[in-house]
Amino acid sequence: MTADALDGTPTSPRQTEPALRPAQRLSAAIETGRQRIVISALVFSVTFGAIGLKLIDLMAFGGDADSAMATHALPAAAPAADRADLRDRNGLILATTLPSMSLYADPKMVIDPIEASLRLAKVLPDLDQAKLLADLSSERRFVWLKRGLTPTQQYEVNRLGIPGLAFQNEERRYYPAGNLASHVVGFTNIDAQGIAGLEKSLDDRLQGGESMALSLDLRLQEMVRDELQATVEQFHAQGGNALIMNVNTGEVLAMVSLPDFNPYEPGGPAEEAMFNRNTLGVYEPGSTFKIFNTAMALESGTSTLTSLYDESPVHVGRFTIHNFRGDPQSGMLSVYEIFRLSLNTGSVHMEEAAGVDRQKEFLTRFGLTKPAPIDLPEVGAPMVPHPWSKISGMTIAYGHGMAVSPLSLVTAVSAIVNGGILHPPTLFKRDPSQPVPGKRVISAELSRTMRMLMRAVVTGGTATKAEVPGYFVGGKTGTADKAARGGYNRRARVTDFVGVFPIYDPKYIVMTMLDDPQPIKGTYGFASAGWNSAPLGGRIIARMGPMLGVEPADPKDPAILQMLSPPANAVVANLSGGNED
For the segment 143-149, the average pLDDT, to the nearest whole number, is: 91
Crossing angle (nearest 10°) for helices 113-123 and 151-160:
150
Half-sphere exposure of residue 334, counting CA atoms within 13 Å on the CB side? 17
Q: Which of 150, 107, 97, 90 is nearest to 126 (CA)?
A: 150
pLDDT of residue 502: 98
Tell me the sheet residues that pair with 246: 508
pLDDT of residue 62: 41
For the cut 60, the answer to whether the pLDDT of residue 206 exceeds it is: yes
For the segment 191-200, the average pLDDT, to the nearest whole number, is: 93
pLDDT of residue 514: 98
For the cut 90, the answer to whether the pLDDT of residue 326 exceeds it is: no
Which amino acids are annotated catalytic? 287
Question: To the nearest whole percent, how much of the chain has pLDDT over 70?
Answer: 83
For the cut 50, the answer to whether the pLDDT of residue 364 exceeds it is: yes
pLDDT of residue 483: 82
Q: What is the DSSP letter of 551?
A: P
pLDDT of residue 21: 56
For the cut 80, the answer to whether the pLDDT of residue 231 exceeds it is: yes
- Global pTM reads 0.82
Question: To the nearest whole percent, how much of the chain has pLDDT over 90?
Answer: 73
53-57, 447-451, 523-527, 534-538: least confidently modelled range: 53-57
At 176, the pLDDT band (50, 70, 90 cuts) reads very high
Q: How far apart are CA 381 and CA 385, in angstroms?
A: 13
Select 222-570's CATH number: 3.40.710.10, 2.60.40.10, 3.40.50.150, 3.50.50.60: 3.40.710.10
Q: Using one digit for the tens of pLDDT, what is the confidence trace for 543-571?
A: 999 999 999 999 999 999 999 998 877 87
For the cut 70, the answer to whether the pLDDT of residue 16 exceeds it is: no
pLDDT of residue 484: 79
Q: How does the average pLDDT of the chain come out, rounded?
A: 87
Q: How many CB atoms neighbour CB 123 within 10 A?
A: 17
Topology classification of domain 86-214: Penicillin-binding protein 2a (Domain 2) (3.90.1310)
Q: Using one digit for the tens of pLDDT, what is the confidence trace for 44-66?
A: 554 455 455 544 444 444 444 33
Overall size of the chain counted in residues: 581
- Three-state secondary structure call for residue 477: strand
pLDDT of residue 80: 44
For the segment 431-452, the average pLDDT, to the nearest whole number, is: 97
Q: Using one digit for the tens of pLDDT, what is the confidence trace for 262-279?
A: 998 755 677 889 999 999
Q: What are phi and psi of 267, to 5 degrees?
A: -80, -10
Strand 86-87 relative to strand 212-213, pairing:
parallel
All structural domains of the chain with their residue ranges: 86-214, 222-570
pLDDT of residue 265: 73
For the cut 70, the answer to whether the pLDDT of residue 285 exceeds it is: yes
For the segment 237-245, the average pLDDT, to the nearest whole number, is: 98
For the cut 80, the answer to whether the pLDDT of residue 98 exceeds it is: yes
For the segment 88-107, the average pLDDT, to the nearest whole number, is: 95
Which of the listed ranges 19-28, 145-154, 511-520 does the model predict with the highest average pLDDT?
511-520
pLDDT of residue 486: 73
* CA distances, 69 to each of 1, 99, 110, 136, 178 (Å): 71, 21, 13, 14, 36
Q: How far apart are CA 267 and CA 472, in angstroms?
A: 46
For the cut 50, the answer to whether the pLDDT of residue 13 exceeds it is: no
For the segment 441-466, the average pLDDT, to the nearest whole number, is: 97
For the cut 80, the answer to whether the pLDDT of residue 576 exceeds it is: no
